[in-house]
Structure formats: structure tokens, C-alpha cells
Structure 1
């Protein structure tokens, strides 16, 4: 039986300035509780008002928004059969789970942030993509259901499945993206990890809570953690700009990226997209994407899938992404595939992925 997991990441715009200084959870504060998820993964329950996201002198007067006015912006964790791929954590009242990080992790996140290939950029050596995007509107949000699969990824390779929203102007970009990834060079293991990534003013940004910016407010669900896979799993991610919308369902609020992190998305973004991305090894070997299989038009379950892909338009109305003109993105058909479809129960969807290899091109 497949497991459905509803998740969302907020793009809530508040009052905050971004600092490029790197931070980690094991500072001078003493955690009230600790969760050892595995030998190398530990979360500390840190006072919500002393968390790394606020570790900046310009944030001394910042008021944390514990209850954003839109439930749809928040990180949900719901399943159809009470199974979940997430570890159970619940920090004491007034604290939030923050990943305990090493100097190596901080250095790795800095390196990946500096060379990160964002979805608004052109081609990059060793990076390949399969998905769809739209650059013909003003967008307040994007969301989709997408599948989670086991993959064999090398130590210097990476494979992502993600949604993203952003704006570009005069060679400058702002964007936020979220999803799951297998990135041994960053995380130190070959597990799936949920993640969020952003870039804002002056090209600054980072993963998760590796630098000031993301404000964690959930007591039990951190922005990034290793994922279990209890059979076939579909995850739901959502990135929305906050507004007074009617909530769809009860949610768990994860946190938010405040508006002063960005200078090109105050009135919405000009691009949204979803899809898979891979990064080849230094030797040019591209890893598998999706579930490692090419899509077959007559067999929707044969490869990885994004379904019910929707956007929020400039009037804060939710609609299918193909309400707007869309681009199909596939730069290496020898190694990966993309198959678009429309079915009532799946909305606008596509199957994607492939095995990778040595002949995927630059």
C-alpha cells in the first residue's frame, strides 16, 4: 500500500535581515532535550528565542510568528494509514529541534551554497534536470505531490526531487526550493533527507538552518531530517507567500523565511517549477534520477512521478500549473526521460527520471 505524506514549506515574508555568518546548534546554550536519531544525526531542543536563525544583531527586536495566518503555508505531516517516514520527535514547550552540526557540515553547506546551481540559471557542467516550469506569471506559491524512491548514489554525486519558486532580474536571483535529496557530500550519508534551500539578497543563502534566516517554530518537525521509506511514498510539498487564505486542513507549522531575506519577491515570484535534478561525479558519471527508470507512457508507475502540480496566482487563487504556459525541461534524453500527462485524479502530472551514466553530456 502506498503511503501519502503531506508536507509544506512556508515562504512567509516578515521583518528580518539576512547575515551570511554560519551558525550551528551546539553553541553556548544548553539544550533542554536531545534526540539521537542515529549515530551521526542528533537534534537539540533549543529555546525558540535563541535558535540559530535569529543569531544576528539585526534580529534583537524580531517577534517570532508562532501562528502564521495561513495554514497552507505550513509543513504538514499526515498519512493515510498512520505510517510516516519521519522520526518521532517532540521538544519541550518553548523549544524547537535544531540539527546538531559539525564544522565539516558547516563547511560543506557553505561550499554547496557557493556552487549551487539554482533553477533560474543556465546549464552547468555535470548538472542535469527533468521537469517543468513556468515563467509567464506572478506567482504566490507552488505545490505538488511527488514520489520518494531508494537510489544508489555515489559519494560525490547528488540526486534531488524538488519544487521551487523564484525571481530573476539583471543577473540577480531570489528563490526558495524544497523537497528530498540524497547528497552524501553534504549530509555525510546516503539517506534521503528532506531539505529547504534559499538564495536572497546579494546571492546569500543556504540549506536549512546552516546559517541565519530560516525561523523554526515547530516543536516536532525540523526543516531537514533523514527519511525512512515504508514502501511507496508520496510526499506533498508547498511553498506559499503568506496571505489570508482559507486553510485546507489542520497542519503543523514548521517555520518561515522572513521577507527581508529577499529583494525580488516582495510582490510575488516570476517563476515556479518542479522536477528532478542530479549532479554528476568529478569523473563525469551521472547518478540515477527519480527511481532510476525511464518513464513509460502506458505505465505511470514505472518511474518517479510528480502529480497534482498547482500554483497560486497573483490574485492568491490556486490553479493547475498548466493554466500558464509551461516549459518542459530535459537536457539529457540519453540518460533521463520526461512524460507529461493529465488525468482527473492526478491533475497535471509527469513521470520522470532515468539511470544516468557516462554519456549524459556536459
Structure 2
């Protein structure tokens, strides 16, 4: 299984229809059991203007610390490279930086979006498509595997949009790290998405997705299972993005990074130089490094014979005000923590349906827009 397969992993919808209020007693008990695992007693509760409930949870009592593999895990409050990398992540941003919902938790606590029973009825938070990927399409750039290529991070300045989707659809823009083969793949994805089944609305949200076994038994989005350790006190997984780009108009972006700490080996998620949190090294079976990294878009779901938009909903044409882009794409290949420009000879470009979506490697456009890719498309009748 390649990075293309990992870039298309999405949650399976519960067998219980989201419009139905009838669930069995056994299903209800399972929902309640899972809610107890991922919702912890808050120090403070914040309700956003859009109706989300954010729990400020003691940083040492968040769900991840109840994971069997993490009971002896020592909390890492910041990555060892934070001061070294912060300036580079923010350097040369030519577009406006996206903003997020205003949430601020007390010192010693972290924000976690509360999961409700209705959330779990809308989605199945435990299982993920792992073998076949019907109704999904991709437009991605990823590194080819070759001897002795080890990656320890991936980075990009990611353009932010709000593509049109229907209730049973999803549209993502993401960066990824992966290691392993077949059913032993370990991977982390990080980006933005529009996913009504996950969030109950069609706004754009920050997301992460992980697994240690190709989603056979482990992995989930955001905090829907135990694993991710939240550190930042105001930016969190699932947070709503307040401002998005428009075709031909103002462009918004943020810098995203998945970076391994060279000392703890934890994998950190970073937005605009701010350390959101990390996936502990103990969580994975084979993630001391990555053998593939990638950038691109993915959509899922066919409703009334049509697939959703990807990116801005327009094909890449070289104009950064038209189609969604990622600029300054880069990776880390050594313990130096320096972001390196991609070797174009090692990049693979792949699209599964060029009638609906596409991706282009634009390379160097100017000093601020170097190593740029552009991707997206209108969707429509794309087949299964």
C-alpha cells in the first residue's frame, strides 16, 4: 500500500443512519463506553459561537494518558527544536494567515473538543476504510521510495478554502508521513478538511489522522480515540478556521509541519510555528522514521452521482488566486532539523481521475513561492 492509499483513509459511517433516533441498547452502551474514554472531567467548559463545546482538561489527565501504551509516558511540554524551527516556519509568508476560533484555557489545562453521543451516531469513530476506497479520489505529490531515504518531518504553507460538500462527503488538504508496508503501515496526516459528519457543519476545520497498523485495529481522527497529546492552550485538533480563501480574491494560508523530535522521537504537529501537540513514539509500531512523505488533496463520498469539490473547486492553472496551493513544500532528512527543498527526481505526481481533479508541480515561482504545488477540481460525475 502506497502513500496514495494512506492519503485516502476516511472514517466509515455508522450503520445507524444519522437521521434515525433509534439505536439498539447494545449500541447505546458502546457509545457511552467510548464517550467515557475520550471525554474527561473539565476544569472549565467553553461554548463557541458556533455551538461547539470545548473542555479545558488537566494537561496530565487528557485521554491519551489512559491509553495502555502510554501509561508510563512522560509529558513533553514543548519540542526540543521549538526555538530553532519557529522562525523558519513563519518566514516569507506572502499571503494572509488564517485565524481560528477564539478559545483560551487556564494554565495547566488544554482544550479538547467534546464529543457527544450525536457525534458518534453521525460517524463511526473507531473504524476506517483500510483496504478498498470506493467513492474517493486523490490528487497528490509524494516522494518515491529509494534506498536509505529516511524522513523525519514534512512541511508546507497550505492555502485554505471551504470547498462545497454534501452531508455524506468530505474534502481534505493534507501533508503526511508514513513508514511500513501492507498491513503494517504507520502514518500521520495533518491538514484542513470540510467534513459535516465529523463536525456537524460544513465549515473548514483543522484535523489529524493516525494509525499504527494500516487502520486494522488502531487510529482515528483528532481526539476521537486515545493517542494524541494536546499541548497548546488555544489551538486544538478540530478547531474551526475562521477565514478562508476565495477564487480570485484574498488568499489565506498557514504553515503546517509534522516533525519528529530528535530526542524524544515524538511526532509534533505545528501550525505557524505554534506547537499544537504530539503523537507519542510509543503509540507506533514502526515510526522511528518515515520512508515516504506527501502533500495533496483527497475527497470522499458520492451523493446523487456526484463527487465533492477539492481545494477551491477549480483545476490548477498556475494562478495562485485560482486553485488551492501548497508552497515551500519541504522535508527533513537528517537530525539537523533543517527543512530541505524536495529533490524533483524523487517526487511522484498522481491523480486518479483527471476529468474531475488534478495536481501540478509548479516548482519555483518567485522567492516567496518556491517549491509550489497546486491541486483541486470541481468534482462532479467522477465514477466510483
TM-score normalized by structure 2? 0.77
Cα distance in structure 2, aligned partners of 1:82 and 1:25: 38
Over aligned residues, Cα RMSD in angstroms?
3.0
Name 1:133's counterpart in structure 2.
142
Name 1:186's counterpart in structure 2.
198
Q: By how many angstroms is 1:56 displaced?
A: 3.3
**1:143 and 2:155 matched:** yes
Task: Indicate how the Cα distance of structure 1 residues 292 and 278 shifts in structure 2: closer, same or farther if over 3 A, else same.
Answer: same
Cα distance in structure 2, aligned partners of 1:279 and 1:125: 8
Cα distance in structure 2, aligned partners of 1:274 and 1:252: 20
The structure whose RCO (Cα within 8 Å, separation 6+) is larger is 1
Alignment of 1:1-362 (within 5 A): 22-23=34-35, 27=39, 29=41, 31-56=42-67, 59-71=70-82, 84-106=98-120, 108=122, 110-111=124-125, 114-116=127-129, 124-136=133-145, 137-201=149-213, 203-229=217-243, 231-243=250-262, 251-266=273-288, 268-297=289-318, 299-316=319-336, 317-322=338-343, 325-343=346-364, 344-345=366-367, 346-358=369-381, 360-362=382-384
Cα distance in structure 2, aligned partners of 1:342 and 1:80: 16
| Higher strand fraction (1 or 2) | 1
Cα distance in structure 1, aligned partners of 2:158 and 2:235: 19
Is the 8 Å Cα contact of residues 174 and 189 (structure 2) preserved in structure 1?
yes
Cα distance in structure 2, aligned partners of 1:200 and 1:107: 25
Task: Indicate how the Cα distance of structure 1 residues 198 and 227 shifts in structure 2: closer, same or farther if over 3 A, else same.
Answer: same
Q: By how many angstroms is 1:86 displaced?
A: 0.5
Is the 8 Å Cα contact of residues 144 and 309 (structure 1) preserved in structure 2?
yes
Q: By how many angstroms is 1:77 displaced?
A: 9.0
Q: Deviations over 1:63-110 (max 9, x none)?
A: 211122121788x89988997521222211111111111023245554
| Consecutive unaligned residues in structure 2, runs of 5 or more | 1-32, 245-249, 264-269
Task: Indicate how the Cα distance of structure 1 residues 250 and 179 shifts in structure 2: closer, same or farther if over 3 A, else same.
Answer: closer
The count of aligned residue pairs is: 330
Q: By how many angstroms is 1:250 displaced?
A: 9.2
| Consecutive unaligned residues in structure 1, runs of 5 or more | 1-20
Q: By how many angstroms is 1:138 displaced?
A: 1.3
Is the 8 Å Cα contact of residues 179 and 194 (structure 1) preserved in structure 2?
yes
Task: Indicate how the Cα distance of structure 1 residues 73 and 156 shifts in structure 2: closer, same or farther if over 3 A, else same.
Answer: farther
